[in-house]
Structure 1
Amino acid sequence: MKLMSLLDEEKEEENLREIARQKRLNEAAMKGSVTSLLELLQEDPDILKKATSSLSDTPLHIAVLLGHSAFAKQLLTQKPELATELNIHGYSPLHVAATKGCVEIVKELLLVNPDMCLAKDRDGKTPLHLGAIKGRVEVLNELIQVRPEATRALTGGGESGLHLAVKNNRLGALKVLVESVRKDDQFVNWRDSEGNSVLHIAVARKQLEMIKYLLTDTKIEVNARNANGFTALDLLLHSQRDLRDMEIKDCLQKAGASRMISKAQSIANNQDIVEVVPPIQVQPLILKETDSKPVVEKRKHTDWLGRKRSALMVVASLLATVAFQASLSPPGGVWQDDYSVDSDGNPAENPHKAGLSVMAYTDPRQYEAFMIMNTIAFLASLSVILLLISGLPMKRRRFMWIQMVIMWLAIAAFTSTYFVALIEITPRQVRTMLFHVTRISLIIWLGMMGLVFVGNVIRMILWLLRKYGYIKQKEEEYSLYVEDEENDE
């Protein structure tokens, strides 16, 4: 029994020493200390074999992740099999190196085991796929040079490296991959599990540079249809409007793009019939020269109104919230107790009740000014919010200008409450300096308000002149005058 107990104690001590060595090995990997690694190998030549007994990160994974190339090279020299070890995510050291962009380590790993170019992680991605996602151009060049067939590897979702490069807007990575399959037009037009080519993805994500490259430097099928029967141009017309839409559509049409022929179709998916909504009939973004101006002006008008409505809603909501809070917590706070009699039982000289504003008792005039301005700001903000959510047909510029004027009033009133509160909470001995700063700030603020007011008055005058045709008439008279001068010459 004593012998068994001694053996168990020795085994336990050995396990503890092994755990300590493994911890030192991981610390050496984190620091990239080759000296510490060699010392550990002298103590236990089999330490690297024991380091690969689980699915956790090996010392090589750690070294690659932190970019310690010398340490990684020494590990591969001592135990080349570490290059094939996978961690719990299915990543090999080459996956990690490709993601981090460590070109030197990638070269060392490829020298040891070039077949790891085709190894897939749990998501079905190869090191090349991860390099394409991160845009590691130099890494991609190394991987393709060693294993050209790695370019044609697909993920679990049927995506190629080209799809991943476009999805993540990695133009440099896309160019490298396209050059590696330059003679294979079929692969350039490869479609993922949803039937989308790289052009579909680029158009859906409004990646203009990607689109230009695919249309000019590759033999991409511009009218290819995805699983729902949509071409790239269909996706553009069904997507949310963007400033780049006109240029993208121009590029597609120059390349011969067209919309899908059928207006509706049905597709079977999991034994259910899903009807594809027919394309919305929209005005073309590129029209004849005589017809383009009204459409563009209408679209700019709509975009302007939408942006202004969103901005007004955000500002009005913020001002209403702050004004409401200021009314509940005025400067100086509120009384925390009732005070009607003094300590002798006599009526108090300045009685007060709990919950009432301290400022209303100590400085009634300032309190009145504060609450009046705060109430104006609060009600003006609520008025704008009410108008925006009322559902009334207030989609004209003049109505939007009215709401903007209301917001100016709210902002001006709220600024006044700030100055009143600032003066109230400032001790009297430092108010002199505060008055100077406040005066300068107020002058600057009034100047800004004046500029905004004058600018909008000018805009309104110009709008009225255009509405009643005065400006147009003057322009016509000027053009006739110029023509007469030219004829006289």
Structure 2
Amino acid sequence: MADPTLLDKYDEPSFVDTPAHIAAAAGSTHFAIEVLSLKSSFSMKLNPDGYSPLDLALRHGKTQTVKRLIKHDPQFIRVKGRERFTPLHYVAEVGDAELLAEFLEACPESTQDLTIRGETAVHIAVRNNNVRALQVLFGWLKRANINGQILNWKDEYGETALHIAASTNNFKVVKLLINEVRINEQNLEGLTCLDAFMGLATTRDERIAKALRGAGAKRSLSLRPVETLADFLSSRESFTRKVFRQMIEFDASIDGLSSDMRNALLVVAVLFVTATYQAVLSPPGGTSSGGDSNSYSDNPFYAPHQGGKTDTRGTAQMAMSDFSIIVYLNTVIFAASLRIIFRLLPRTLYYYMVCVGTALSLSYMYSIVLIAPTSIPILAYAVFYFLTGCSVIISMTLALSSFQASYQRMTEFL
């Protein structure tokens, strides 16, 4: 009679070759999956050499077993072996681009795993000059819209992937990364990627220096001192940071609202957008119906008539100072209301709302310019464009950031 506790004896040792390890190393796919189905904890177990079952299948070239194992459970890709190396790190190291692509598709979050040296799979691919693997990683990160976060990650020495590429005289990798990373990041020694390249003792590829300088790379001596965390925390909070912090707090408060409260807030925001837009089209005091006037407009959007006079029909009948105050207050309410609408609508509508919101904001801006009083100084135009431009930029940026966060969450299910 078979012993039902046979597999339990492998639970106690910290490092042991379980039947799953042996089967995976031998390419016995069915048996390995059967054992892992019975004892899922074996997938996390490391053998005395520090390898998981998936690690062993990889290192013994059992590609079909590897593919079946990650299909059985994609989280096998994140099991950390010796020196916290994951299977993703290994395929980046050996440059297996096809398996790397399958790993990324099966387990996107594995790109965030770090070795004991603080290295990502990108660091490892660059250090081992695996250009094809790096191209796969770069392509996936770009499509997942998280390339900036991962590509700018620093290892234990404070070096980005670009530091490593420059210090290893690798022009192909430098060219691939140069426009996707913060070019003047400094490592723990205070050196930029240009410093790392110029410090090479071997023959340097001058194409790298030319490319780096063309992208704005500088030597560390010409940069301002880097603000430390202590400096940042002890400094006075800027107005911009305070505004964005309050926006984050506001978002958190919206998330806590009930469905009825969210619907009510959405209705109020829509009414505010409607009211502010209407206030621009129909300002207090009404608009001019035209006729003879000694006042001429400097507004370039108005076409001059014969005799050099300018048509003032449809312009606001009020002093410029009064009109500026109304425009300023209206724009603040208009932008804030659009922001709330974007935040309250379902995430699936973000892209649609970005398009509609952009068109509405541009229409609002154009209406202000057309209806503005006559004889407006150039400075007033600059104020109008600035205020209404802020409306567009703030609304669209926040909507796009929310859409980006939604897209990142969506990639977890690809």
Using the size of structure 1 for normalisation, the TM-score is 0.41
Structure number with bigger Rg:
1
Using the size of structure 2 for normalisation, the TM-score is 0.48
Structure number with greater CO (CA < 8 Å, separation at least 6) is 2
